[in-house]
Amino acid sequence: MNLCLPAVFLPLLAAPAIGVFGTRAQGAMANLALNVIVFGFTVGVFFEPGSGLIHADDLGMIFGALTSFVCMTTALSNLSFVWSGNEVLSVRRWRVYHAMCQVVLGSTLLGFYADNIGLLWVAVEGATIAATVGVSLSRTASALEAAWKYFILGGVGIALALFGTMLVYLAAQPALGPGLAAMSFTALGAHVTKLDGSLLTLAFVFLLFGYGTKAALVPLHGWLPDAYAEGPIPLTTALSTLMLNVALIAILRFRHLMQANFAGGGGALQPGVFLLTLGLASLLLTAFSLSRRRDARRFFGFSSIEHSGIAVFAFGIGGPAAIFGGLLHMLVHTLIKSALFQALMRGAALRGSAAPGNYGFSHLRGMIHSNKYVGWLLGGCVFALTGLPPSGLFASEFIIISQTIQRDPYMSLPLGLGLVLCAVAIIRHVGPLVFGHAPPHTKHQKAGVGINLAGLQLALGFGIAFAMPWFLLNALSSVAAALQ
């Protein structure tokens, strides 16, 4: 039985029901229950990957399970967000909010499991529309501006990606002829040297800019900080982790087609240059914009741009080890970022309200005076983002840097510079955020049990990087070798 199908379609089919019925609390519970079930399915996919239009390859399995895991923990912390009553929304908008959470989950999973370039595009577009609706939900002026920006930039990206998708189809015509086969990743991969190289190059440029918009690569990143800062924070967690990953994976898959075509003498250009340029641009731009942010969510939004830039850079370097490093970087970053946003939400709730607009660094400083555990956890997560040891990101960045020195030595200089600048900009915030003077009238408060989940994710991020279980190591290595 193909377990990918229920994993994808259960949330998508449940979304309309959640959007129409139920109170705020029922919606949150249903959201959590669905997430738990879907997580079960995505774990089951490891044993029943299925076949055909929607099936899981190794890459899809790993990232599908990660996605649903992060969604599940987010749904759990969403409970406290909903019950705290910080975000004042009408019942109807709460319903829409929970429905959109499900649509984002379902379409992201579809993006990972789809063995069809058209279906992949549909998945990304669906997730974008759902996320846009989610971002605009609080209906403040800045939320509307963020959503509009997201829609316009996202629309441009979607258009470019679809054009690229059609060009890939056209490039496959000489080898695969008309029909569904010319859109399937499996078939494209099998006949990759027979694809039309120059068309594939043209297609790749469109796809890179299209999916690059979703992965928030500079210069297409404009929507991300605003969308992160203005949406309900559980949705931000989902955005920061799921959307970036699905777009990065898409870029990786198309990069592989082009690289293999180049290696097989099909006439395509080497994709590395494009990816290296965009990756470095993202890294360096964030290095210089991080230090000027005063809002924590916007700040960590820029840090997501940095990390997606690093992953794309790793894909650009190429070779199995660098791809492995890039994928590991995505895995660990996802876990850390989602832990960070959950801790941030809890911290902001301790300071009064978890609604957007309460995430200024000056407002959150000295978290340890509000709650010791949340303070340390927040500090740990922010520190982990720098990529300094013992953060899990250190392992992946180490692999990427050593591969860069080996394959493209000149590139290692700007890469190192960007990494150091970003680390400095981030680490400056750890001290004040955790130990600084708290705002007046701060009282010590209980944080609740849910916060342990954030700690668990941080630990998982550490564990995956330094003590990766053998089955994951095997799967990830074989993926990296196949996609080199």
Q: Residue numbers of the site for other proteins (CB under 8 A)?
A: 116, 118-119, 121-122, 125-126, 129, 132-133, 136, 139, 141-142, 144-148, 151-152, 155-156, 159-160, 162-163, 165-167, 169-170, 173-174, 177-180, 183, 196, 198-199, 201-202, 225-226, 292-295, 298
DSSP string, 323-368: HHHHHHHHHHHHHHHHHHHHHHHHHHHHTT--STT--BHHHH--GG
Q: Do 464 and 332 form a contact (C-beta atoms < 8 A)? A: yes
**Smallest distance, other proteins to C-beta of residue 294, A:** 7
The nearer residue to other proteins, 208 or 331, going by C-beta atoms, is 208
Q: How far is CA 444 from the centre of its chain?
A: 34
**Smallest distance, other proteins to C-beta of residue 244, A:** 21
**Smallest distance, other proteins to C-beta of residue 429, A:** 16
The nearer residue to other proteins, 269 or 275, going by C-beta atoms, is 269
**Smallest distance, other proteins to C-beta of residue 136, A:** 7
**Smallest distance, other proteins to C-beta of residue 125, A:** 5
194: exposed, middle or buried (Cβ count in 10 Å: 0-12, 13-18, 19+)? middle
The nearer residue to other proteins, 49 or 225, going by C-beta atoms, is 225
**Smallest distance, other proteins to C-beta of residue 18, A:** 17
**Smallest distance, other proteins to C-beta of residue 144, A:** 6
Which residue is associated with the tokens 């967000």? 81
Q: Do 45 and 109 form a contact (C-beta atoms < 8 A)? A: no
The nearer residue to other proteins, 197 or 379, going by C-beta atoms, is 197
User: Other C-beta atoms within 10 Å of 444: how many?
Assistant: 11
The nearer residue to other proteins, 15 or 328, going by C-beta atoms, is 15
The encoded tokens of residue 47 equal 């044993």
DSSP string, 38-94: HHHHHHHTTT----SSB---HHHHHHHHHHHHHHHHHHHHHHHHHHHT-S---HHHH
437: exposed, middle or buried (Cβ count in 10 Å: 0-12, 13-18, 19+)? exposed
Catalogue the E-assigned strands of 337-443.
Answer: none
The nearer residue to other proteins, 142 or 474, going by C-beta atoms, is 142
The nearer residue to other proteins, 41 or 94, going by C-beta atoms, is 94
| Distance (Å, whole) CA 392 – CA 425 | 19
The nearer residue to other proteins, 176 or 331, going by C-beta atoms, is 176
| Distance (Å, whole) CA 19 – CA 92 | 8
**Smallest distance, other proteins to C-beta of residue 208, A:** 15
The nearer residue to other proteins, 58 or 125, going by C-beta atoms, is 125
Q: From 101, 41, 31, select the one nearest 65 (Cα to Cα).
A: 41
| Distance (Å, whole) CA 42 – CA 33 | 14
Q: How far is CA 15 from the centre of its chain?
A: 21
User: Other C-beta atoms within 10 Å of 76: how many?
Assistant: 19
**Smallest distance, other proteins to C-beta of residue 97, A:** 14
The nearer residue to other proteins, 44 or 155, going by C-beta atoms, is 155
**Smallest distance, other proteins to C-beta of residue 129, A:** 6
The nearer residue to other proteins, 94 or 169, going by C-beta atoms, is 169
3-state secondary structure of 1: coil
The encoded tokens of residue 311 equal 């992953």
3-state secondary structure of 2: coil
Q: Do 329 and 396 form a contact (C-beta atoms < 8 A)? A: yes
**Smallest distance, other proteins to C-beta of residue 101, A:** 16
Q: Do 103 and 38 form a contact (C-beta atoms < 8 A)? A: no
The nearer residue to other proteins, 362 or 406, going by C-beta atoms, is 362
DSSP string, 148-190: HHHHHHHHHHHHHHHHHHHHHHHHTHHHH-SSGGGG-HHHHHH
**Smallest distance, other proteins to C-beta of residue 126, A:** 7
Q: Do 400 and 326 form a contact (C-beta atoms < 8 A)? A: yes
